[in-house]
């Protein structure tokens, strides 16, 4: 009886370690929307996530889980993602699936928008300080890479920040809030143009 108790107590106190196998197993669930190769699915609004930075995947999963993202009534796509993040049970599982997503080879994204690359280049000057001239992001500023992401998804997120649908919680999401003032300076066409420019970056 005592021995059984010790075994049970031990199994609960053992540190949870992220394993590659756990990442793969967990990802099978994500693949339903984000695709086997992380290529995304426009119809359900799930973006391409293959090769996304590990730290960024982790932070967004935590934001969805904690209800910092995907709770605004107008955020239909975010609300689709939120229960999926809540399904992840512990830090180890989040770490494992983030590592798995980051290790998926980055795919070329196909353009779905018609914008002016030339005008977009001018607007993109506003973005360089954080996302880099090459669009590869800056982990120190928590600004993700924008290259390799689906253009329709980038546009949706610009609109979301502008409308206060994402990055609207000063206490819990100061990082997300940094995007709001920038999007406020851009109208719809300017957002389309800047996304067209980003899609053309290699
Ligand atoms: C039911 C469909 C569905 C499933 C299953 C799903 N997602 Fe998502 N995911 C979405 C949608 C839709 C979005 C876009 C949300 C938005 O527009 O804000 C999203 C967004 C994301 C983002 C944010 C990307 C970014 O650029 O900010 C990450 C990261 C992500 N999902 C990872 C995962 C992981 C990891 C899993 C598995 C644990 C998963 N998703 C399962 C639908 C899904
Ligand atoms: C002051 C720094 C800063 C500047 C300038 C900036 N961004 Fe961001 N951007 C961020 C940060 C930080 C995030 C991550 C926010 C979060 O976690 O929600 C982000 C997120 C984004 C996202 C969401 C990406 C995703 O995968 O969901 C898009 C799209 C984006 N930025 C586009 C732009 C564009 C286009 C510009 C220029 C017009 C720009 N940003 C300028 C800091 C910046």
pLDDT digits (tens, 9 = 90+) for 163-201: 999 999 999 999 999 999 999 999 999 999 999 999 999
Q: Which of 107, 133, 153 is the last residue of a domain?
A: 107
51, pLDDT greater than 90 = yes
Domain span at residue 113 reads 108-202
Q: pTM for this one?
A: 0.93
In this structure, what CATH number is given to the domain that contains residue 113? 1.10.760.10
Query: Count of alpha carbons within 13 Å of 48, Cβ hemisphere only?
Result: 21
**141 in the same domain as 54:** no
The mean pLDDT value for 15-20 works out to: 66
Q: Are 127 and 194 a contacting pair, CB within 8 Å?
A: yes
55, pLDDT greater than 60 = yes
CA gap 34, 123 in Å, rounded: 30
166 part of a folded domain: yes
12 part of a folded domain: no
Q: Which residues line ligand 2 (CB under 6 A)?
A: 123, 126-127, 129-131, 141-144, 146, 149, 154, 157-158, 167, 175-176, 178-179, 182, 194
Q: Which of 34, 121, 139, 144 to mutate to test the pocket of ligand 2 (most atoms within 8 A of CB)?
A: 144
Q: Which of 107, 132, 150 is the last residue of a domain?
A: 107
pLDDT digits (tens, 9 = 90+) for 137-152: 999 999 999 998 999 9
8 part of a folded domain: no
Query: Count of alpha carbons within 13 Å of 132, Cβ hemisphere only?
Result: 16
9 part of a folded domain: no
């Amino acid at each position: 009886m005592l021995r059984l108790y010790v075994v049970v107590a031990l199994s609960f106190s053992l540190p949870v370690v992220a394993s590659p196998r756990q990442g793969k197993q967990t990802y099978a669930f994500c693949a339903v929307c984000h695709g086997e190769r992380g290529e995304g699915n426009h119809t359900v609004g799930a973006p391409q996530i293959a090769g996304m930075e590990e730290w960024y995947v982790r932070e967004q999963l935590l934001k969805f889980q904690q209800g910092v993202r995907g709770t605004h009534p107008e955020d239909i796509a975010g609300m689709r993602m939120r229960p999926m993040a809540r399904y992840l049970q512990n830090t180890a599982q989040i770490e494992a699936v983030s590592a798995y997503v980051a290790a998926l080879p980055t795919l070329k994204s196909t353009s779905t928008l018609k914008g002016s690359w030339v005008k977009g280049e001018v607007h993109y000057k506003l973005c360089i300080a954080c996302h880099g001239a090459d669009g590869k992001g800056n982990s120190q500023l928590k600004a993700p890479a924008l290259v390799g992401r689906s253009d329709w998804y980038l546009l949706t997120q610009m609109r979301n920040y502008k409308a206060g649908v994402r990055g609207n919680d000063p206490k819990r999401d100061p990082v997300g809030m940094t995007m709001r003032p920038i999007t406020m300076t851009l109208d719809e066409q300017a957002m389309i143009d800047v996304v067209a420019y980003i899609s053309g970056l290699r």
